[in-house]
Structure 1
Amino acid sequence: MKKKIMIVDDDPDIRMTVKTILEKEGYGVVEANDGDECLTKLASHKIELILLDIMMPGTPVREVVKRIKDTKILFVSVVRTTEAEKEGLFATKNILGFVHKPFDIQELVDVVKKNT
């Protein structure tokens, strides 16, 4: 069975690009436009890793992360790591790290493979 990755980003172009990359690597991909949709879809999908944008409309990412209990999370954002730390976004044990936008495709693939 394919490992499933969830891409949570309000930019449909980013979601489409990452989905295409990960599907070529053999992953199943579930998309969500925002944190609320992410939480809803987590209830019906077994997700190995979430690629989560930090800056999205709707429920603050800090609150979304608190509600994700058993799934690993990798932040993908233009926000610098120090700003994310100030927001306390790395305080949860299931946060694995950070990939900066724009990202290098091979870097993204490598970090996903390392964490799945």
Structure 2
Amino acid sequence: MHKNKKILVVDDDTEIRTLLREYLERSGFSVLEAADGVSLFEQFPAEDIDIVLLDVMLPGDDGFTLCQKIRKESLVPIIMLTASSDDADRIVGLEMGADDYMAKPFNPRELLARIKAILRRVETHQQPVEVKPAANPRYYKFAGWTLDTTSRQLVREGEQQYPLTGADFALLMLFLEHPQRILKRDEISDLTRGRESSPFDRSIDVHVSRLRHRLGDDGKNPQIIKTVRGAGYVLAVEVSVADELD
């Protein structure tokens, strides 16, 4: 499944890069290395990268800045690596467009599991949620927005198209497949990332906030994705589907 998939490891610690390369290559991946932003962009996007492992603390531009630069030209999945125990670093990374994060020191097997989960999501272009047996529609329409599931573009009438990152697409698809249904945080984490969230994990809240911002939904008084206190989140608008646009 993962043969020939390319992972770009961006870390200024030579030992960490070597350990990750050896471990990931044994798991069937092709691994490229970069020690900073300069060497990163010497290989990206020239190389066909499938996922980026991006350290936060780097010489020159830090990981947050590099994540923003990557997002300006690509939706390639990004997993941030942070040595900080402070949740702030992790939350900032997610707000910058990262798909996931790992705190150092981390278990390589857990990192591998997260990489595989993200790649499965990218390869299927949809989430592992329960769907009706009928063919999946191409377009979802809701609250003045149209989502093209083939191109992963959000379109608002009279406005430009907005590409979605893998994480944003996964979350939006989950809500669109389950409108008017309260989704618990653990459920969202399990269905979009393949694991349950920890009691203090705020990444789901950050992802929801980021998606609300993309949809122009007021975070203080949201009308599209509402918070159900003590329960989770719900897509509170009507959803229609179509195979072709009018």
Q: State TM-score, norm by structure 1.
A: 0.88
1:16 equivalent among 15, 18, 22: 18
Q: Point out the structure with max Rg over C-alpha.
A: 2
1:52-86: CA deviation from partner (whole Å, max 9, x where unpaired): 10011111322211111321100112113522156
Instruction: Provide the rounded CA distance (Å) in 2 between the counterparts of 1:79 and 1:97.
Output: 15
1:7-65: CA deviation from partner (whole Å, max 9, x where unpaired): 00000000000001100110000100012211221032011110010011111322211
Question: Measured at CA, do residues 5 and 85 of structure 1 come closer, stay the same or move farther in structure 2, by a change above 3 Å?
Answer: closer
Deviation at 1:3, TM superposition (A): 0.5
3-state secondary structure, aligned to 1:57 = coil
1:58 equivalent among 60, 64, 68: 60
Instruction: Provide the rounded CA distance (Å) in 2 between the counterparts of 1:104 and 1:70.
Output: 26
Confirm or deny that 1:83 pairs with 2:83.
Answer: no
Say if 1:39 and 1:64, in contact at 8 Å, map to a contact too. Answer: no
Instruction: Provide the rounded CA distance (Å) in 2 between the counterparts of 1:99 and 1:112.
Output: 11
Query: Where in structure 1 do 4 or more consecutive aligned residues deviate above 3 Å?
Result: none
Aligned 1:63-74 pairs, distance under 5 A: 63-68=65-70, 69-74=74-79
User: Which stretch shows the higher mean deviation, 97-106 or 76-85?
Assistant: 76-85
Instruction: Provide the rounded CA distance (Å) in 1 between the counterparts of 2:11 and 2:63.
Output: 11
One-letter code aligned to 1:113? K
Deviation at 1:97, TM superposition (A): 1.3
Instruction: Provide the rounded CA distance (Å) in 2 between the counterparts of 1:32 and 1:2.
Output: 19
Unmatched 5+ residue regions in structure 2?
A: 120-246
User: Which residue matches 2:99?
Assistant: 96
User: Which residue matches 1:115?
Assistant: 118
Instruction: Provide the rounded CA distance (Å) in 1 between the counterparts of 2:32 and 2:86.
Output: 25
Kindly tell me the number of residue pairs found equivalent between the two proteins: 114
Instruction: Provide the rounded CA distance (Å) in 1 between the counterparts of 2:112 and 2:17.
Output: 14
User: Which residue matches 2:51?
Assistant: 49
Query: Identity over aligned residues, as a percent?
Result: 28
Say if 2:90 and 2:101, in contact at 8 Å, map to a contact too. Answer: no
Say if 2:80 and 2:93, in contact at 8 Å, map to a contact too. Answer: no
Deviation at 1:100, TM superposition (A): 1.4
Instruction: Provide the rounded CA distance (Å) in 2 between the counterparts of 1:36 and 1:71.
Output: 18
Q: Identify which of structures 1 and 2 has the higher relative contact order when contacts are C-alpha pairs closer than 8 Å and 6+ apart.
A: 1
